[in-house]
Amino acid sequence: MGIAQIVGLALVTTIILLILRQQKPVMALVLSIVFSVVIFIAMMGKMATILDVMKEVSHRAAINNMFFSTMLKILGVAYLGEFAVAICQDAGEQAVARKVEFAAKMIIAVLALPIMVAILESLMELMPG
């Protein structure tokens, strides 16, 4: 799905949402979630392409597989967290959205710990004495 189709679908969905929100707010929320899921699924192919390129580059550069897999996990948590936050905000649940955002940030921090430790250990090896 290209950007023109996404924009077109978004505009049609937005117009329908404007009408539905006045008459059937619950149906508007369902439509909003369905639109989000459709876009998410449509972008999975693009994400697979990105992952393939990143795997190839990391393999050629002989990057430690632990770093690569950790970076992919961090990207996944960031994207999924943002997706969930947007859905919660669309539903008017700002407090839940903030908790999801906080949880995603904490998970990212925990996932990044091994990379940060490896960087610090490398720096300590470079420093004299």
Task: Report helix, strand or coil for 62.
Answer: coil
- Identify whether 11 is part of a domain: no
Q: Is the pLDDT of residue 107 over 90?
A: yes
- Identify whether 92 is part of a domain: yes
SS (H, E, C) 75-110: HHHHHHHHHHHHHHHHCCCHHHHHHHHHHHHHHHHH
Predicted confidence at residue 1, as pLDDT, reads: 82
- Identify whether 118 is part of a domain: yes
What is the span of the domain harbouring residue 98? 64-129
pLDDT in tens, 45-92: 888 888 888 888 888 887 777 788 888 899 999 999 999 999 899 888
- Identify whether 99 is part of a domain: yes
- Identify whether 45 is part of a domain: no
Q: For the chain, what is the domain count?
A: 1
Lowest mean pLDDT among 22-26, 53-57, 104-108: 53-57
- Identify whether 106 is part of a domain: yes
Residue with the bigger pLDDT between 128 and 113: it is 113
